[in-house]
Structure 1
């Protein structure tokens, strides 16, 4: 099915980059869509300057190298795509809706071919028309080695994609992308892919006029198809300035708005400074947001005692799971009863507390995130309550041949990231001790930790791990971790258990044929339950993100797709 050397590595890079961008686990954002009168309410008006205060620079501002969900959705200001995320808050934003296209795509009978028709009247920032040839060229240039970094799926999914080197080396282009006229584009795939409309939200599907392509320098001035155009890019994304694109039309783009006159994004700031500036909200900071800085436990406690601040704090969710990973090729983790014993022994309450408390982490008993779009089905194959069941764990250890307990080593990172941190490792150590399991902690510098855990030859028997999806579906969540064909022996491997079950692989293929997201979600949920019974991992928690916005910020919308506020709908007046 998928080529693990391509998909597994790059999906993980996306998950990691999201984690870094959030300053904790993944993307986040203000606005709890379940609350009325929360952050950013009030009638939005046009005008003013929106300031964005970030820690991480938005490097490589090129549609070939971006993920639409990256950078707090900043790319959506400039890069429209064939499809996009729904405009609503919460679960409503998990729906795929048309963007440049008139619909979300028309598949053939077996979902190996997808056809799109562009809307009429689409224009670039210079007033020239957007055509299907521009979409085709935008996709093709994402294959160029010098523009790597974006979504990896196209190389695996498109017929001929595995060998294609991009338009700079291969002038002929991809035969699997056909443009019979200026408004029609057809994609021919290697295999059925019912999730193609989700993939078409990625910035690789943004139109790029061939005559304006400057290769690696295109990031300095990408040609906009969205409501704003980039007018300044300093320090490779350290300082970005956007102004209105006068040729953008809301009639062809009901999802986005064009409220501020100007959007100014500054990066390289300290997270504590960002939250302090948003809290004080003086001068320009009253019209400021952050797309990558969360509130921590101490800051939340301070904000909670001040209603004027708490009204400007919202909650973001993202499809993400933190878990305990087993390498079943390493003893004693080749014994299912040992793995089950550990699952029963884990105290999720103490783990959640180590991750910042219940305001920042939700206890997890399923690998799939707790959102319906992923196929989440409430389940707990090893029910031990929130604080664990040491007695049950001891019984299973005895059945496994360890009546006197055992000693194991848990690898974790030494960084304070509330994911793979020493605090979480210590919480697990203390819980397992009650079940007769002595846990030795092996703290590794972050780069060494990632290298060792992702390399089959050096992967430990048990370690702290995390995973985030590129879109709200079970496919990009379960396949990289449990599809046996994604095991990578000479590169970054994320099928940590090295599971290669023909039945699981076949079911993944069968679900990928489905073009109905709801039908696919049910199947993903059932597959999650089936895999969970093998205790190949221990789900620990799903992160929650808290964000503060300036006092003048209006129309804050956040969906469950990215967990990030939708910057294309923000107003500051």
Structure 2
């Protein structure tokens, strides 16, 4: 989340989850937006030209060890290739994992604790030297160094010995759980079954790094490219990033990146309104411009929809993300399931969606998992409130819970003006619950205070607005951090807000993790989501919908359900 560096991990501050949302917004395809996927009169994209990327946040920490995911930002994937990658297609097809540097998705042992990858032949860096499996091993090992922190925690959690390893600058021996028997083979030994390792192999930490070229914390200034573009300028820690062609990249080894433009100019630190104005005007270089982190707001969208030419240049879609109400059952009266159920029935999702920007920017949710096939989405609505809530059913449940005269509760939210935990959404919920006899006192906190409070096992409030996004399009990184009792963190950032520690749930998570058939695993994640939903530990509110402009000369628009961002590796601008 999604993850600049999008961070959705039980070890990292949840404030960055909103970065994921912003960094990964917009998915579906040009058929939904009216955009045409052609690059010339005969319908074929053309090589050449300069692609400009206008973003509000800088592409900081441009080091594969420090970036959270390749999916969290399109720009890194132009320079860094990984063992596997996302399928570069529109919509749901783009939520699949495919080989990148490797010849396949990896060969697992019977219990999915050992994964073996073979590198393709003919892989080269920007200087023409060959890419080896030892370089992939070294790239992973350096991501464990404290001075290069910021990346995803999974390898540290999953690799045998990973929890204690301090990186190659302190431990010259390296990680014994990563073996390189020859120049094209790399073997991973895990401490438990992980059937979704092919997804993890898309993380930028699996980018090869030649040890002789490693400059530590300065590596981000000129990381050695394994992708179609190389860094020729990095100003202001990613404020301005200029990429030019890597002459030694071969399309014959890379079926995913099209790399049509000759040059990519990334300009960051811009005001969101300025970005949308420039894309709308589409003058000069801005005609060949896109954004990977700036959405259209309700007012801007209304203006765009009134202009057919502009409306045809809007990418529309979905990123795996859910906004919800979170309960802390340790706090009264939320320890009573009937109180939680009553609130579930009382919620008016129509007013919540309106507060989030309207139906063009949000879809009502009744499931915790996003409504996408890759997550194993299984439709359910255990507490059907309809479009506008069921206050009478809520009153009945409150009476059964021992509150015939209603009750007073506090809802904690962020004061930040975004559509995730905003005061507007909190007010909409306050109004809806009032109809059921529930008086809601609003506790608005500044963003940092909000994040610290709601993710503190000691100080977590009884009811608060929350959100969650996926590190990859699967139920695993969605369900486990929120509902696996073994991931409850008592002295750090905790995301299992309900403190659920159900052996049956934990065991099912372990069983699903053993599956290497990703479709079978998805079905099991969906079934588990439905089962957990019966306990009313959360109230799903909405799944975001994203709208983003692109310049009038931008062709070959591809927007997948993995990143939700217009894929800059596919764009043609000439």
Match of 1:38 in 2: 35
Match of 2:218 in 1: 217
The answer (yes or no) to whether the contact 1:81–1:206 under 8 Å persists in 2 is: yes
The answer (yes or no) to whether the contact 1:27–1:564 under 8 Å persists in 2 is: yes
Matched, 1:29 2:26: yes
Q: Distance in 2 between matches of 1:340 and 1:366?
A: 14
TM-score, normalising length: structure 2:
0.96
Matched, 1:346 2:343: no
The answer (yes or no) to whether the contact 1:316–1:544 under 8 Å persists in 2 is: yes
Q: Distance in 2 between matches of 1:11 and 1:491?
A: 9
Match of 2:413 in 1: 412
Q: Distance in 2 between matches of 1:473 and 1:147?
A: 27
The answer (yes or no) to whether the contact 1:30–1:548 under 8 Å persists in 2 is: no
Cα offset, 1:40, TM superposition: 5.1
Q: Distance in 2 between matches of 1:272 and 1:30?
A: 21
Which structure 2 residues correspond to residues 275-290 of structure 1 after superposition, within 5 A? 275-290=276-291
The answer (yes or no) to whether the contact 2:69–2:152 under 8 Å persists in 1 is: no
Cα offset, 1:68, TM superposition: 3.3
SS at match of 1:9: coil
Match of 1:135 in 2: 136
Which structure 2 residues correspond to residues 9-88 of structure 1 after superposition, within 5 A? 9-10=11-12, 12=14, 15-19=17-21, 22=22, 27-29=24-26, 32-35=29-32, 37-38=34-35, 41-42=38-39, 43-69=44-70, 72-88=73-89
Matched, 1:317 2:318: yes
Match of 1:3 in 2: none
* Shift in CA distance, 7/427, structure 1 to aligned 2, threshold 3 Å: closer
* Shift in CA distance, 156/13, structure 1 to aligned 2, threshold 3 Å: farther
The answer (yes or no) to whether the contact 1:31–1:556 under 8 Å persists in 2 is: no
Which structure 2 residues correspond to residues 152-191 of structure 1 after superposition, within 5 A? 152-191=153-192
Cα offset, 1:34, TM superposition: 4.4
Q: Distance in 1 between matches of 2:312 and 2:28?
A: 10
Cα offset, 1:15, TM superposition: 2.8
Q: Distance in 2 between matches of 1:282 and 1:137?
A: 45
* Shift in CA distance, 312/40, structure 1 to aligned 2, threshold 3 Å: farther
Which structure 2 residues correspond to residues 388-407 of structure 1 after superposition, within 5 A? 388-407=389-408
Cα offset, 1:394, TM superposition: 0.1
- Matched positions, count: 563
The answer (yes or no) to whether the contact 2:15–2:447 under 8 Å persists in 1 is: no
Match of 1:543 in 2: 544
SS at match of 1:298: helix
SS at match of 2:93: helix
Match of 2:365 in 1: 364
Match of 1:504 in 2: 505
Cα offset, 1:29, TM superposition: 3.3
The answer (yes or no) to whether the contact 1:327–1:462 under 8 Å persists in 2 is: yes
Q: Distance in 2 between matches of 1:13 and 1:507?
A: 29
Q: Distance in 2 between matches of 1:361 and 1:550?
A: 24
Q: Distance in 2 between matches of 1:71 and 1:484?
A: 27
Q: Distance in 1 between matches of 2:27 and 2:471?
A: 20
The answer (yes or no) to whether the contact 1:11–1:470 under 8 Å persists in 2 is: no
Q: Distance in 2 between matches of 1:303 and 1:18?
A: 25
Matched, 1:113 2:110: no
SS at match of 2:506: helix
Q: Distance in 2 between matches of 1:150 and 1:240?
A: 20
Cα offset, 1:168, TM superposition: 0.3
Match of 2:4 in 1: none
Q: Distance in 2 between matches of 1:255 and 1:11?
A: 33
Match of 2:5 in 1: none
Q: Distance in 1 between matches of 2:444 and 2:309?
A: 41
Q: Distance in 1 between matches of 2:529 and 2:325?
A: 16
Cα offset, 1:562, TM superposition: 1.2
SS at match of 1:84: strand
Which aligned runs of 4 or more in structure 1 are off by greater than 2 angstroms? 10-17, 29-37, 39-43, 67-72
What is the CA RMSD across the aligned residues, in angstroms?
1.3
Q: Distance in 1 between matches of 2:513 and 2:26?
A: 30
Which structure 2 residues correspond to residues 196-215 of structure 1 after superposition, within 5 A? 196-215=197-216
The answer (yes or no) to whether the contact 2:14–2:455 under 8 Å persists in 1 is: no
Greater mean deviation of Cα atoms: 32-41 or 81-90: 32-41
Q: Distance in 2 between matches of 1:14 and 1:182?
A: 37
Q: Distance in 1 between matches of 2:464 and 2:368?
A: 16
Cα offset, 1:316, TM superposition: 2.5
* Shift in CA distance, 462/13, structure 1 to aligned 2, threshold 3 Å: closer
Cα offset, 1:18, TM superposition: 1.1
Matched, 1:334 2:317: no
SS at match of 1:568: coil
Which structure 2 residues correspond to residues 366-385 of structure 1 after superposition, within 5 A? 366-385=367-386
The answer (yes or no) to whether the contact 2:28–2:564 under 8 Å persists in 1 is: no
The answer (yes or no) to whether the contact 2:14–2:451 under 8 Å persists in 1 is: no
Cα offset, 1:149, TM superposition: 0.5
* Shift in CA distance, 86/264, structure 1 to aligned 2, threshold 3 Å: same
Cα offset, 1:67, TM superposition: 2.8
Match of 1:8 in 2: 10
Q: Distance in 2 between matches of 1:69 and 1:386?
A: 37
